[in-house]
Every structure is written in C-alpha cells, then in structure tokens.
Structure 1
Amino acid sequence: MSLTKEPKLITGNSNMPLSSAIARRMSLHRGVSQGLVEARVERFNDGEIFVEVYDNVRGEDMFIIQSTSNPANDNLMELLIMADALRRSSAQRITAVIPYFGYARQDRRSKARTPISAKLVANMLVGTGIERVLTMDLHAAQIQGFFDIPVDNLYASPIFALDIKHQFKDNLDDIMVVSPDVGGVARARELAKRINAPLSIVDKRREKAGEVAEMTVIGDVTGKKCFIVDDMVDTAGTLCKAAEVLMENGASEVHAYITHGVLSGPACERITNSVMKSLVITDTIAATEAVKKTPNIRVVPTAPMFAQAILNIWNGTSVSSLFDTDMLEPIYEGMF
C-alpha cells in the first residue's frame, strides 16, 4: 500500500474534459470523491506561463494530466512549470500522465543535421523532477529508452478490440485489419490477434513528408471490411488515400481505428469527403469543434484505462495487467 494518504490529480489546460473524466472514474473505482487539485495555470500578457497551486501537496503522490498536443510548445511548458511548482512544494512523487506525447515523431535523425527532439523533451521532463511517465501509444516504442525513469506505455488496441466486438459483432468473420505502412505492422497485428482477424499491409512510398507517391496493398482484401490501424492521424491525406486504394482493391467497407486524432489543417474536410465509413479515435487529444461536427468521426474514451493505471501506480500494482481483455472488460462495462 502506498505510504502517502491518497493520489492527487492536477491538470493543465490541454485536455480538461479528459482530466475531469479520469477524476470521476477514480472516484467510482475507489468509492471516495476524487477531485482535481485547485490551481491556476495562466499566461502573462507576453505569453509567459504562470502556475499557482492552491492546495497543500507536501508529501503527496501527484499526477499531472497534460497532453502535449496543439499548441504543443505551450502545453509542454505548462507541464514542465507545473512539475517545478509541485517539486518546490515538496510533493513526494510526481508522475506525468501524458495521454498524447508530442514530438514523438522526431525520435531519430532522419537526415544530417536534424535533432532528436523526443530525446530533448525526455531530458526536460526528467530535469524538472518528474519521476514517472504514463502515456498511451508512443509513436515509437523505443522512446521509453530516452528516459532514465520508469515509463508506462498503455495501448489503445484493447479498447479498440472491445469497440469492434460490440459495433461489428455480427460481421467479425468479414473483418481485415490493415496496417497503413510496414512500420505499423506490430500495432496492427496486436489488434488482429485480439479480434482473431487476418492482417493486410498498405505499402507506401513517400517522395517527401506529407506526400505519398505510390501505394500497394499486400494481401487480398476483396469483400472485406477493412480496419486501418495506426497511432496518429494528422492531416489525414495518407489515411484517406489508403482508404481509396483499399476500395479499389475490392474492400466492401473501410473504417479506421487511430489512437491520437491530431487532425490538423484540412483533415476534417478530407475525412468527411472520404470513402471511409468511420474514423474512430480516442480522447487523448481534446476534440475541436470541427472534429465534433464531422459525422463519420467517433470518439472512444480512455479515462477508465488511465484512471485504473493511475490507481495501480499509486498502489504499486501491475500496469501491464490492463492489457488483458478480462481485466479491461469490467472497467468498460456498459460503455460500448
């Protein structure tokens, strides 16, 4: 049992609905009211971020909930400054709950004289006194090795599997899971195993970032309901093109299950006009008004999983147990 009195949650401005939902789920799990620590996270006129924590956090087990999504730099600085405020207020342990880890795409030197920004962000987080990171579907799993502190990387595939089994329970034999590139095969295979479906791959060749020159489908998708699986969707150009190629190769329907809905620029318009019947994303990034108004985008909740993971960290029990369907189903009971 934890030596501290209780876990305490504090949130920045990046995703207040998710933070509130996590607090509600923790209240339900514990049978004790779990609120958010009173604090203000504001900006001076010149854009500088200021944090003041109103509650006493001395000796407490603190969890900062903050996605580093758009505006990525502002949200990252909020997280760093909140961590510094808690450390200087004598919090016993600080865990950063980062549902969407920004800068994860910059995990290696893709060409000469380029940075490894994900490593830089990891150094900054550790330098502020954060002792553990809890996140979901890192763009590259090796980013965990950039940290010299424990990193718990949750996966959305168990949640997606539950949703698919509910939404398509009468058509599970017709499903084909599709990886949108060779690099995402492991992620797609994980979901395919959970729903006992075959796997296909869309091989893409890029001329430059954001543009796809050619796509080839590896595998027979004729007559299949194809489910594209990926960790993030940004401008949705590649995703919509992959959906078109699958339909041209005989797929009966195309759906997409993608963890992080970055959805910047023309993404929502492209998805609305695409051949995809649905795009399912999680709430790791707060949905914009444009996302909410897009008819073929649906959001599934991550709060139950994050709430249980936070409680497991606080209690010193296994976080990886949440990858098991038998463990996850009761947590999501009645939500699908």
Structure 2
Amino acid sequence: MVDALKRASAKRITVVAPFYGYARQDKKHRGREPISARLMADLFKTAGADRLMCVDLHTSQIQGFFDGPVDHLFALPLLTNYVGSKVDRKNLVIVSPDSGRVRVAERWSELLGGCSIAFIHKTRDPRVPNEATVGKVVGDVKGMTCVVIDDMIDTAGTVTKAVDALIDAGAKDVIIAATHAVLSGPAVDRLKKSRVSEVVVTNTLPIPEENRFDNLTVLSIAPLLGRAIREVFEDGSVTSLFDGHS
C-alpha cells in the first residue's frame, strides 16, 4: 500500500501502525539472530513511508530504527481511566510483571493517585520463546486488588503465572491490563482457566469473536489515534499524547 501511494506521487505518507510487528526482536539475544524490529522500520522506509505512528512500542528505542519522525502514542490514560473507575484506589497495587516495567508502573501509580507498586521477579531463557519463570512477588499485595500491567498479551503464560503468584501471596483479586491483545496459541484457554478477575485490552489488533470471553474488556484506541492524526496534520500540540498524560 505504501509503495502504491509513493508511485501515485503522494506528497507525504504516514503509516499508522497501532501494533508494531516484531517489536520484541529489538536486539540480538543470541548470535546469528535477526533484529526484526529494525528490518520492519527499513521496509517501511524503503517502501516510501515518511512518518510512523505507533502505540505502546515494546521498547522506546525502536523509535530510533526508523529514519524519520515516529509518533509514539500511549494507551496509558485510556487504561488507567477505565481501571480507576472500577476499583477502590485505596486498596490498589500496580504490579509490573518484571523489573523492566517498573517505570511504567510508576506512571500508572501517578495517574491513579499514588497507589502502591509491586513487581514480580522472573527469569527468561532466550532459547525458549514466550516462556518465563515467575519467581517471588516483591511488594505487599495481601488483601489488595492488583493490576498486572504489560504492553502485550501473547501466549499469556507469563501473566497467568503472575496472577497465580499474586493470589498465592494473598491478593484479593487480580486484573490484567495490556495494550496489545496478540492472544496467540494457548492464550485464550489459559486466561479462561486463570484466577484473573478481568482482562482489559485495547483494539490495536482485531480480536476475532472466537478469542473473546466473558471477563475480557476491549477498549477502543480510535479516539487517541484520531486526535493524534488531527494534531499532526494540523500542526497542533501532541505533547500530552506522547508522554501518556492525556
């Protein structure tokens, strides 16, 4: 499509890709592995794209792979507004599924009035994709409502193990909140069988009817994208959209 637009003499081409494919392959975990996130950026540029617009990249460094402007939007306000309206914020703990997303958990806490934060210590074998070993919960979650946050749910192995770890540590109930619902392989079955109270995602990816279940909530990302597109093309202010505070 980008190539067709370029050959039709389009003045400017912006690719709106709410979910950036291969985002987790942003570095080499072992020798002789591709950096597919960089390859995707190169393909967009070679085809003729001038600008990218994405939502919740797996790592912010991916913005540097594309030779041109990258509008990195955040679904954080959308997710926090929904979760904040459903729970008692005084008994809320934001849980990072690993130490690497603690800063995101801090932003959640800030938007939800300074609630507590915890994280789960986990290890991952680079030779085994989509699998992680969940260790202990770091932080007090006893009697609390926990919100496990992540950028995506792929096979749901890590998040469902996190739910079990939190419940076993005394959590009252657990909500999973993620931007991208990949839901590949056994994900839906794992989530249905887990002890999670609710799974909250956005529609950055289409979710077929067979992958929907009773406690799945899908929030629309359309207003965020619509506002960003309008502001970018009308030379308006997009700062709040990029820092996740709008």
The TM-score, its normalising length taken from structure 2, stands at 0.95
Change (3 A) 1:325 1:90: closer
* Among 161, 165, 173, the residue aligned to 2:90: 173
Query: What is the alpha-carbon distance in structure 1 between the residues aligned to residue 185 and residue 96 of structure 2?
Result: 24
Answering whether residue 72 of structure 2 is matched by residue 153 of structure 1, we say yes
* Residue in structure 2 matched with residue 127 of structure 1 by the alignment: 46
Change (3 A) 1:151 1:324: closer
Contact 1:107 1:119 in 2 (8 A): yes
* Residue identity matched to 1:94: I
Query: What is the alpha-carbon distance in structure 2 between the residues aligned to residue 109 and residue 153 of structure 1?
Result: 23
Name the SS of the counterpart of 1:183 in structure 2. helix
Answering whether residue 155 of structure 2 is matched by residue 235 of structure 1, we say yes
Contact 2:175 2:198 in 1 (8 A): yes
* Residue in structure 2 matched with residue 203 of structure 1 by the alignment: 121
* Residue in structure 2 matched with residue 85 of structure 1 by the alignment: 4
Q: CA deviation at 1:211?
A: 2.7
* Residue identity matched to 1:206: R
Q: CA deviation at 1:167?
A: 1.9
* Residue identity matched to 1:155: F
Query: What is the alpha-carbon distance in structure 2 between the residues aligned to residue 98 and residue 209 of structure 1?
Result: 24
* Residue identity matched to 2:10: A
* Residue in structure 2 matched with residue 15 of structure 1 by the alignment: none
Deviations 1:171-230 (A, max 9, x none): 111110000011111222211111021110011123433333341111011111000000
Contact 2:5 2:13 in 1 (8 A): yes
Larger Rg: 1
Name the SS of the counterpart of 2:13 in structure 1. strand
Answering whether residue 105 of structure 2 is matched by residue 185 of structure 1, we say no
Answering whether residue 115 of structure 2 is matched by residue 213 of structure 1, we say no
Query: What is the alpha-carbon distance in structure 2 between the residues aligned to residue 296 and residue 140 of structure 1?
Result: 28
* Residue identity matched to 2:203: D
Deviations 1:20-70 (A, max 9, x none): xxxxxxxxxxxxxxxxxxxxxxxxxxxxxxxxxxxxxxxxxxxxxxxxxxx
* Residue identity matched to 1:136: V
Contact 1:268 1:290 in 2 (8 A): no
Name the SS of the counterpart of 1:93 in structure 2. coil
* Residue in structure 1 matched with residue 30 of structure 2 by the alignment: 111
Name whichever of 182-191 and 264-273 sits farther off.
Answer: 182-191
Q: CA deviation at 1:322?
A: 2.7
Query: What is the alpha-carbon distance in structure 2 between the residues aligned to residue 155 and residue 94 of structure 1?
Result: 22
* Residue in structure 1 matched with residue 233 of structure 2 by the alignment: 314
Answering whether residue 63 of structure 2 is matched by residue 144 of structure 1, we say yes
Answering whether residue 184 of structure 2 is matched by residue 264 of structure 1, we say yes
Q: CA deviation at 1:289?
A: 1.6
Contact 2:71 2:242 in 1 (8 A): no
Query: What is the alpha-carbon distance in structure 2 between the residues aligned to residue 215 and residue 325 of structure 1?
Result: 30
Contact 1:105 1:118 in 2 (8 A): yes
Answering whether residue 167 of structure 2 is matched by residue 247 of structure 1, we say yes
Name the SS of the counterpart of 1:164 in structure 2. helix
Structure 1: where are the runs of 5+ without partners?
1-81, 329-336
Q: CA deviation at 1:324?
A: 7.4
Name the SS of the counterpart of 1:246 in structure 2. helix
The TM-score, its normalising length taken from structure 1, stands at 0.70
Name the SS of the counterpart of 1:199 in structure 2. strand
Change (3 A) 1:303 1:98: same
* Residue identity matched to 2:96: S
Contact 2:155 2:184 in 1 (8 A): yes
* Residue identity matched to 1:193: E
* Correspondences of 1:4-83 after superposition (within 5 Å): 82-83=1-2
Q: CA deviation at 1:325?
A: 8.2
Aligned residue pairs total 243
